[in-house]
Amino acid sequence: MTSTSKPRITIVGYGSQGRAHALNLRDSGFDVTVGLRSGGPTETKARADGFTVKAPADAVKGAEIVAVLTPDMVQPQLYGEVIEPNIAQGACLLFAHGFNVHYGQITPREDLDVVLVAPKGPGALVRREYEIGRGVPSVYAVHQDKSGNAETFALTYCAGIGGARQNAIRTTFKEETETDLFGEQAVLCGGATKLVQAGWETLVEAGYQPEVAYYECLHELKLIVDLFYEGGVTRMHEFISETAQYGALTRGPYVVDDNTRAQMKKVLTEIQDGTFARQWIAEYAAGNANYKSMKQADLEHPIEAVGKKLRANMKWLSTSPQQAQPPAAALEPQTAAA
């Protein structure tokens, strides 16, 4: 494949990342085609946004870059049955998460360039930051460089979605996969959720009002995280009281203690040795019964009903994640610390 400044791009999948990438790349002047199953849930949306939508097999045929933006668990079959038989010789295959390549679920054809461009944020924010003239920080990696231009393709795509406007950091498929999984499991999604739920339960079980506990353990977390985002833990210490600082410094280690650190290490080990990947792949293959019931328990946790009632009076909140405002801090001019 010859390297052009504006390669033809096909995006397969039009969900959180797919829609944001497709819209940003089109606005950056790229020729974008969307590949979706006919009658699938997002086809109408892609057409309403003005894209040419084709069946995945047809959509990948003429593309110089094919971005695989379907859920991770459907990618191996999609690659084997649809992408590999149809993707052009020498094209560039692009992922937004290294999972399937790193854990050997996809072994890309030898003639392809294989790269990763992973924005460090949800799709709605990838789109919004682009629209206001910035981008979310991204990492990129090269797994296979057949043409000698694989890094250029990754950086061109990264710039097209707005990610290179911020610091784009070069990584590897292994590092991106393992750190991304660790972050979402131990800190961002798993750790934060369980911390909030346990804190709320502790207060409510001790007889405090559920609504007051909600403000303390969930609502205010955003305000603290905004300070982290703007200026790190340093910024938080500048804004909280001395009493809060002393309490945080002496009692924080009660909660995140040696046992918590050992558990974090266990989370990381299970990512590194493939235990987590094998378990998730087996769960998906078996129909997701455990995943669905655990998720339902999260959705039915009593803090959700309390929050729903309180948020009904927070008129500044929108209901759809696609319309959600970025954090207040994201609207501030970028600083070296951000």
Annotated binding site: 14-17, 37, 42, 123, 180, 184, 216, 220, 241
Is 71 an interacting residue with respect to Mg ion (CB under 5 A)? no
59-74 as b/e: b if 16+ CB within 10 A: bbbebbbbbbbbebbe
Residues making contact with ligand NAD (CB under 6 A): 12-18, 36-37, 40-42, 56, 69-72, 74, 78, 96-97, 118-119, 122-123
Task: Please identify which residue in the block is written with the tokens 């007051």.
Answer: 212
- How many whole angstroms separate alpha carbon 148 and alpha carbon 3? 10
Q: Which is nearer to ligand NAD, 24 or 70 (CB)?
A: 70
Integer Cα distance of 139 and 145 in angstroms: 17
Query: What minimum distance in Å lies between the beta carbon of 78 and ligand NAD?
Result: 5
Q: Which DSSP category does 217 fall into?
A: I
Taking CB under 5 A as the criterion, the residue among 81, 131, 184, 298 binding Mg ion is 184
Instruction: Provide φ and ψ at 144, rounded to 5°.
Output: -145, 125
- Between 176 and 226, CB nearer to Mg ion: 176
**Of Mg ion, ligand NAD, none, which one does residue 13 interact with (CB within 5 to 8 Å by kind)?**
ligand NAD
Binding-site positions for substrate: 241
DSSP lists the bridge partners of residue 9 as 32, 65
List 64, 176, 178, 180, residue binding Mg ion (CB under 5 A) = 180
Of all residues in the shown chain, the one whose CB is closest to ligand NAD is 15
Residue 158 contact among Mg ion, ligand NAD, none, beta carbon within 5 to 8 Å by kind: none
> What percent of the chain is helix, strand and coil (3-state, nearest 5)?
55, 10, 30
From the CB of 55, what's the least distance to ligand NAD, in Å? 9
Minimum CB separation of residue 153 from ligand NAD in Å reads 17
Query: 67 with 9: CB under 8 angstroms?
Result: yes
Cβ contacts of 282 within 8 Å, gap of 6 or more: none
Q: Give the binding range for Mg ion (CB under 5 A) out of 71-79, 174-182, 267-275, 286-294.
A: 174-182
**H or E element, residue 113:** strand 113-119
Contacts of 56 (CB under 8 A, 6+ apart): 12, 35, 36, 37, 78, 82, 83
> CB under 5 to 8 A by kind: which of Mg ion, ligand NAD, none does 91 bind?
none
277-281 contacts, C-beta under 8 A, 24 or more apart: 277/99, 277/103, 280/73, 281/73, 281/103, 281/105
Our finding on whether 187 is near Mg ion (CB under 5 A) is no
Nearer to ligand NAD, 71 or 252 (CB): 71
Residue 184, contacted partner among ligand NAD, Mg ion, none, CB below 5-8 A by kind = Mg ion
As annotated, the binding site for Mg(2+) includes 180, 184, 216, 220
CB of 166: closest distance to Mg ion in angstroms?
Answer: 18
- Do residues 51 and 78 touch, judged by C-beta distance below 8 A? no
Question: What residues have CB less than 8 Å from 17, skipping those under 6 apart?
Answer: 69, 96, 119, 123, 126
Report what 7 binds from ligand NAD, Mg ion, none; CB cut-off 5-8 Å by kind: none
Complex with ligand NAD: residue 149 or 165, whichever CB lies closer: 165
Opening angle at CA 322, ends 165 and 67, nearest 5: 55
Residue closer to Mg ion, measured from CB, 86 or 177: 177
Residue number, 95 or 200, with CB nearest to ligand NAD: 95
Q: Annotated binding site for NADP(+): which residue ranges?
A: 14-17, 37, 42, 123
Known catalytic residue: 219? no
User: In the bound complex, what is the minimum distance in angstroms from residue 90's beta carbon to ligand NAD?
Assistant: 23
Residues involved in catalysis:
97
Instruction: Kindly list the residues in this chain that would bind Mg ion in the complex (CB under 5 A).
Output: 180, 184
